[in-house]
Structure 1
Amino acid sequence: MSTDSPPEPDRPATSDGFVRGLSEAIGGPLGGHAARPRSGKFWTAARIVLALCCLTLALHWVQKSPCQTGDWQQNIQYTRFCYTDVLALYYAEGLSDGDVPYRDHPVEYPVVTGYFMGALGLPVHALGERFPDINQGQWFYNANAVVLCALAVATAAVILALRRRRPWDAAIFAVSPILFITATVNWDFLAIGLAAFGLLAWARRRPVAAGVLLGLGGAAKLWPLFVLGPLLVLALRSGRLRAWAYAVVGAVAAWVVANAPVFLLYRDSWNRFFELNTTRPIDWGTFWYIGRYVDGKWNSGAAGDRGPFQWLSDHIPTLNTLTYAIFLLCCVGIAALCLLAPRRPRLAQVAFLVVAAFLLFSKVWSQQYVLWLLPLIVLARPRWGAILAWTVAEFGYFTAFYAELLGAGGKSVVPEGTFVLASTLRLITVAVLCGLVIREIWRPELDVVRQSYADDPDGGVLDDAPDADWVGRLRAKFWPADAAGGTAGMEPVPESSATT
């Protein structure tokens, strides 16, 4: 980690233009002569953030309470925004009948998620057999909610651990309406929590542990394995490939060990996740769904004329290949950005770009996938204004999505064009966040995290590491006059030079 002398802890009312503007309603930022809180008091910034996270999750549980009994009459799960896969799949995946995941039923998720479902579902079923009066689905949901919410709090704690000089960054995560709406819609916090601890292990210079945690996260949902790509490019730029190799070995070993029992004993069930994702059609709200809608409107007057998106919706293997190819091209572009930028980007910045690129061009974007981006954007670009704008767009999409679900049941609520507009705004705001992160990679003096840290607090062995010699030669081919600016060290810029 960096050995530079620590500056004053960040205060958003001073450093963040959006928060500074809001603070004017209560008298403005804290003055230079104001009394400072005593260092020994209990309610530190970190404890306040964790308490806020607990409050948000408690409100989330209350918001989901109308659905907990499983009595989903008159589409209550949509009209009250309380739908959750956790409760629905307790019955759909056979857990309510005592089926063992993968052995008795081919679960549609990677194995760590399936193990977790069985670890909680089978005891609940056994308890229901002994006490027939209990509501098994409600018990199952609440047991899952306790663990998933604990992982959400742990994720907030990891953000705090990674940003000790910027504890209020974690508040963006802790009070997010995204967390409030989607925390227990599915089991995504299994992967998010494991990935967060993997990032913390990497920052603590424990690459093998980081790889193991990312590998286990990838065995719950595949996306944590994407973090290995940014680590590779950043390790190439800094010449720290040995640490990356240790992380990859740990990730592969953990993923193989987690998958081996199901792969060897129940191969068909293990294949279910991959078969489902291969054959799955275009999902609601995705880039491809929007394109298909536009195709339909554009070609509505031409008999037999079909646009490219409509054609792709009927040729899923071709669509799969195209989505993989676009994602690969995005990764190549991100890698080029990492190698040609004036300074080595921070790990969180690159990880956010990779995961966001995957979602932007994927044919499937379930509503809870937004949780993948939330901790990453907080670590990558902790600016309240842009994140709140994205959150508003996400909330608008959630509303339109549930209206669309009601419409699918035969009760039209909003025109199809309204849902497409909400989907488009959601994609645009994510793309804007990517653009802002790219801008700060290219102009590191605008990066607010580097106002508090000399280099990369998440970087581990990469933190403060100089560029490999070949990086300077590569940059010299593109920008000869600027090639000397690619060193790792740079003094924090004054707060006044940062934009909001």
Structure 2
Amino acid sequence: MVFVIGILAVLLSFLLRVPCRVPEWNVSERFPGLCSAQLDPGDLSVTPNTMLEGFFTGGPSGDQPIVVGMFTSVLGWMTTGLAQAFNVELSANTVLDLTVVLTALVWVVIIATVAGLSGKQPSDPVVMAFAPTVLLVGFSAWDLWAVMFMMLAVASYIRGSPGIAGLWIGLGATVNLLPVLVLVAILFMAARYRYIGDFFIALLSSVIFFAAVNGPYMVTEFDRWREQFSGTLDGPAEGTTVWDVWNTVLAGPTGLSVDTAAVENLSLVVVLLAVVAVLLVTVLAGKDPSIVQVLLLLLLVYVLFGRDWSLLQSVWLVPLVVLARRSWIEFFVWQAVEIGYWATLNAPGGGWETQPVFQQWGWTPQDAFAVLRVLVLLWFLIAVSVDIQRGKRALLIGVHAKNM
């Protein structure tokens, strides 16, 4: 059932982009955000030599995250061998792109992991599978791979295996550094239960596996590895940040504006203070908190007060919001706001601004949805903090293994 749901979600995402393949409609020019993709098309013609060359260097195309390139290299070689055995000519028209197939399987794994953490809540993975933000932007980048490793790390820790959790964190860090927040969440849980061993085991395991995957590439081509790794740190920023929202919407009424030159330092200070606040919430909780709740708070802090806020970062929040809140009204209100904001970024301009309601407010549609995005995430931040203090919603989503 989980597999079928995941495949249906991927097919729906693919159908949304079918108009992009019709040249006469000019959809790619009118809605570039719908048709753009950061995924390289890949290369299905992989020989044994090219497989070995691409295994540690970003796959056959050379620009994939290392751990993704390992999968695409091996499967590309297998596909090439099968095509030669059956005398089938490989082309984009005869074989599905490996990157699309792998991304579909990654989403299935995420859904299955959420289903395993949901207890007796079968609606959780079903609702999450068709989250509009994932369908619109999730399958256009490699972030879903890192989200998968993040959720596998959470599930492993919940089941009492911090070493295995560290394995997934190390692999996830080769795609995007956000899975490292799982280590911070484990540290906070260790502080809560006064058992620091879990953190050091997870930390050591993550360092070992990160080095094992990146080590050969670093030794042989350090400059190229550094350039590719820096690309994972500088992910694409789509839209605005909370600091931009303040300067655009609230600076006028309040008379206080944020100096753009000081945003980087201000963002760092606010994030650090908010992380300390999350630590206090975790340690002082009335009942046993869940690592899912703690990790969601850390991600919310990073997304809200960080230097950029892309639509892809909302994809990271989807499985955690589903597990931590389990309020479909809240979830779909949030998703509606994200869709509206995505539309203001990608739909042809000029239509929404002419509506009377926006003329009366003096705001652009994008400003309005940007404010709503901030308010929704602030709501999640406050609501999950209150849940932790009250001991709610933690019983089925990962009370520490030693107390189960």
The TM-score normalised by the length of structure 1 is: 0.66
What is the 5 A alignment of 1:197-276?
A: 197-272=152-227
Cα distance in structure 1, aligned partners of 2:172 and 2:65:
10
Amino acid at match of 1:225: V
Q: Is the contact made by 1:102 and 1:266 (CA closer than 8 Å) also made in structure 2?
A: no
Amino acid at match of 1:425: L
Q: 1:398 to 1:116 in 2, by over 3 A?
A: farther
Cα distance in structure 1, aligned partners of 2:234 and 2:256:
21
State the Cα distance separating 1:289 from its structure 2 match.
3.0
SS at match of 1:85: coil
What is the 5 A alignment of 1:71-82?
A: 74-76=26-28, 79=31, 82=34
Alignment pair present for 1:177 and 2:135: no
Cα distance in structure 2, aligned partners of 1:283 and 1:380:
26
Question: Of the candidates 58, 64, 69, which is equivalent to residue 17 of structure 2?
Answer: 64
Q: 1:282 to 1:242 in 2, by over 3 A?
A: closer
Q: Is the contact made by 1:65 and 1:82 (CA closer than 8 Å) also made in structure 2?
A: no
Q: Is the contact made by 2:341 and 2:369 (CA closer than 8 Å) also made in structure 1?
A: yes
Question: Of the candidates 132, 146, 155, which is equivalent to residue 110 of structure 2?
Answer: 155
SS at match of 1:82: helix
Cα distance in structure 1, aligned partners of 2:195 and 2:390:
24
Per-residue CA shift, 1:372-409, capped at 9, x if unaligned? 00111112111111111111111111111213xx55xx
Q: 1:346 to 1:388 in 2, by over 3 A?
A: same
SS at match of 1:420: helix
State the Cα distance separating 1:328 from its structure 2 match.
1.6
Cα distance in structure 1, aligned partners of 2:75 and 2:247:
40
Amino acid at match of 1:224: P
Cα distance in structure 2, aligned partners of 1:248 and 1:413:
51
Match of 1:18 in 2: none
Question: Of the candidates 452, 461, 466, which is equivalent to residue 401 of structure 2?
Answer: 461
State the Cα distance separating 1:211 from its structure 2 match.
0.7
Say which is worse superposed, 59-68 or 368-377, in terms of deviation: 59-68
Per-residue CA shift, 1:412-442, capped at 9, x if unaligned? 5555822122122122212211111111112
Q: 1:192 to 1:64 in 2, by over 3 A?
A: same
Amino acid at match of 1:386: E
Match of 2:381 in 1: 434
State the Cα distance separating 1:349 from its structure 2 match.
0.4
Q: 1:433 to 1:298 in 2, by over 3 A?
A: closer
Q: Is the contact made by 2:124 and 2:322 (CA closer than 8 Å) also made in structure 1?
A: yes
Match of 1:369 in 2: 313
State the Cα distance separating 1:326 from its structure 2 match.
2.0
Q: Is the contact made by 2:20 and 2:26 (CA closer than 8 Å) also made in structure 1?
A: no
Q: 1:76 to 1:283 in 2, by over 3 A?
A: closer
Cα distance in structure 1, aligned partners of 2:31 and 2:176:
29
Q: 1:282 to 1:180 in 2, by over 3 A?
A: closer
Amino acid at match of 2:324: A
SS at match of 1:165: coil
What is the 5 A alignment of 1:133-144?
A: 134-135=91-92, 142-144=97-99
What is the 5 A alignment of 1:279-428?
A: 284-294=239-249, 308-309=257-258, 311-312=259-260, 315=261, 318-403=262-347, 406=348, 412=350, 414-415=352-353, 417-428=364-375
State the Cα distance separating 1:281 from its structure 2 match.
9.9
Cα distance in structure 2, aligned partners of 1:247 and 1:150:
26
Q: 1:118 to 1:298 in 2, by over 3 A?
A: farther
Q: Is the contact made by 1:66 and 1:82 (CA closer than 8 Å) also made in structure 2?
A: no
Cα distance in structure 2, aligned partners of 1:292 and 1:368:
23
Q: Is the contact made by 1:57 and 1:179 (CA closer than 8 Å) also made in structure 2?
A: no
Question: Of the candidates 26, 37, 45, which is equivalent to residue 85 of structure 1?
Answer: 37
What is the 5 A alignment of 1:101-120?
A: 107=63, 111-113=66-68
Cα distance in structure 1, aligned partners of 2:216 and 2:253:
50
Match of 2:357 in 1: none
Cα distance in structure 2, aligned partners of 1:121 and 1:358:
36
SS at match of 1:336: helix
Q: Which runs of 5+ in 2 are unaligned?
A: 354-362
| Superposed structure 1 runs of 4+ greater than 6 Å apart | 102-106, 117-127, 130-133, 277-282, 295-299
Amino acid at match of 1:436: A
Q: 1:160 to 1:102 in 2, by over 3 A?
A: closer
Q: Is the contact made by 1:50 and 1:153 (CA closer than 8 Å) also made in structure 2?
A: yes
Q: 1:223 to 1:134 in 2, by over 3 A?
A: same
Q: 1:72 to 1:156 in 2, by over 3 A?
A: farther
State the Cα distance separating 1:232 from its structure 2 match.
0.8
Cα distance in structure 2, aligned partners of 1:265 and 1:307:
51
Q: 1:376 to 1:280 in 2, by over 3 A?
A: closer
Q: Which runs of 5+ in 1 are unaligned?
A: 1-46, 300-305, 465-500
State the Cα distance separating 1:286 from its structure 2 match.
1.9
Cα distance in structure 2, aligned partners of 1:329 and 1:225:
18
State the Cα distance separating 1:262 from its structure 2 match.
2.7
Number of residue pairs aligned between Structure 1 and Structure 2: 381
SS at match of 1:184: helix
Per-residue CA shift, 1:56-88, capped at 9, x if unaligned? 22211211233368x69835265386324245x
Per-residue CA shift, 1:258-287, capped at 9, x if unaligned? 222232232223333565688899752222
State the Cα distance separating 1:346 from its structure 2 match.
0.9
Q: Is the contact made by 1:120 and 1:144 (CA closer than 8 Å) also made in structure 2?
A: no
Amino acid at match of 1:385: I
Cα distance in structure 2, aligned partners of 1:319 and 1:120:
44
- Percent identity, aligned pairs only, is 22
Cα distance in structure 1, aligned partners of 2:213 and 2:402:
29
Q: 1:90 to 1:431 in 2, by over 3 A?
A: same
Per-residue CA shift, 1:1-50, capped at 9, x if unaligned? xxxxxxxxxxxxxxxxxxxxxxxxxxxxxxxxxxxxxxxxxxxxxx3x65
State the Cα distance separating 1:207 from its structure 2 match.
1.4
Per-residue CA shift, 1:104-159, capped at 9, x if unaligned? 9984x7543565676678999999xx9999448x967x422221121111111111
Amino acid at match of 1:66: P
